[in-house]
């Protein structure tokens, strides 16, 4: 039990929603340590939240509770859930947000039904982050057993994360995330590239650009030039040295790229 709670939301930092959730947590567990992973998820973008969660949660200490509230279905029939693995607990809506956790196997999940854990016996229809998810995360951070939260469930919502296409001499991928620097993170993993392309010559096409080499860092190319490299998430990234690949290529999430080899 670490007492550590990480938080991912799409709430932004203007309206006080995140601070309210933290107040609820600290009212239950004054010794909780709270870490903000991101509150700038594109509103309602569950897939984006998945990717940020997937890239960040393994770096936290064992026992961390990961509180994730990107919940376009709040107030509807979608379930509130808690998930436990051998190292972590996760709290949030059953809308596919925890798909990366399910893909690893070795987990159990429960529906949050124990109303004694809620902040209010009559939760708001629009702010389950405050009234359900934050207090449950706080109780779990104090060592509450998952079975005390609600009954086990197995029919969990999962979402499709885009997979690259692989042809005889071609890999087809797409941009799945754009960071604040304008770097384009694709869904082409290093393991796939190494297995299919290896040291063979290749030609990467994205938009109007063609690249034939991979770089190790931004400084490998002149300022303002496009490069391809392996990012910290383990996926192929397109970047511009001291610039924005998003603007350079007029790219968006879903922009396609191909690698011929």
Q: How far apart are alpha carbons 126 and 245 in whole angstroms?
A: 37
The tens digit of pLDDT for each residue in 193-246 reads 999 999 999 999 999 999 999 999 999 999 999 999 999 999 999 999 999 999
Q: Taking the domain 165-260, which CATH number applies?
A: 2.40.30.90
The tens digit of pLDDT for each residue in 107-130 reads 999 999 999 999 998 999 999 999
Q: Residue 219 burial by CB count (10 A; 0-12/13-18/19+): exposed, middle or buried?
A: exposed
Q: How far apart are alpha carbons 127 and 235 in whole angstroms?
A: 35
3.30.1360.30, 3.40.50.10790, 3.40.50.12500, 3.40.50.2020: CATH of 4-153: 3.40.50.10790
Q: Where are the domains of the chain?
A: 4-153, 165-260
The CA distances from residue 99 to 30, 52, 147, in Å, are: 31, 12, 21
pLDDT band at 7 (very low <50, low <70, confident <90, very high): very high
Q: pTM of the entire structure?
A: 0.93
Same CATH topology for 4-153 and 165-260: the answer is: no
């Amino acid at each position: 039990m670490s007492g550590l709670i990480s938080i991912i939301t799409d709430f932004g930092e203007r309206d006080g929603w995140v601070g309210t959730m933290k107040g609820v947590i600290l009212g239950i567990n004054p010794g909780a340590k709270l870490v903000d992973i991101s509150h700038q998820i594109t509103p309602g973008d569950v897939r984006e939240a998945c990717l940020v969660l997937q890239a960040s949660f393994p770096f936290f200490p064992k026992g961390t509770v990961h509180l994730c509230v990107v919940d376009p279905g709040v107030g509807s029939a979608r379930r509130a859930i808690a998930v436990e693995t051998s190292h972590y607990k996760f709290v949030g809506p059953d809308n596919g947000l925890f798909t990366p956790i399910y893909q690893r196997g070795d987990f159990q999940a429960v529906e949050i039904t124990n109303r004694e854990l809620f902040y209010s016996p009559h939760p708001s229809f629009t702010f389950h982050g405050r009234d359900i998810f934050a207090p449950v995360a706080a109780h779990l951070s104090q060592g509450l057993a998952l079975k005390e939260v609600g009954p086990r469930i197995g029919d969990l919502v999962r979402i499709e994360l885009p997979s690259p296409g692989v042809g005889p001499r071609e890999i087809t991928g797409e941009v799945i995330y754009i960071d604040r620097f304008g770097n384009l993170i694709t869904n082409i993993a290093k393991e796939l590239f190494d297995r299919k392309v290896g040291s063979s010559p290749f030609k990467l096409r994205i938009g109007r650009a063609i690249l034939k080499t991979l770089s190790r860092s931004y400084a490998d190319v002149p300022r303002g030039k496009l490069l391809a490299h392996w990012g910290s998430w383990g996926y192929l990234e397109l970047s511009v040295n001291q610039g924005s690949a998003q603007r350079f290529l007029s790219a968006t999430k879903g922009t396609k790229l191909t690698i011929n080899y």
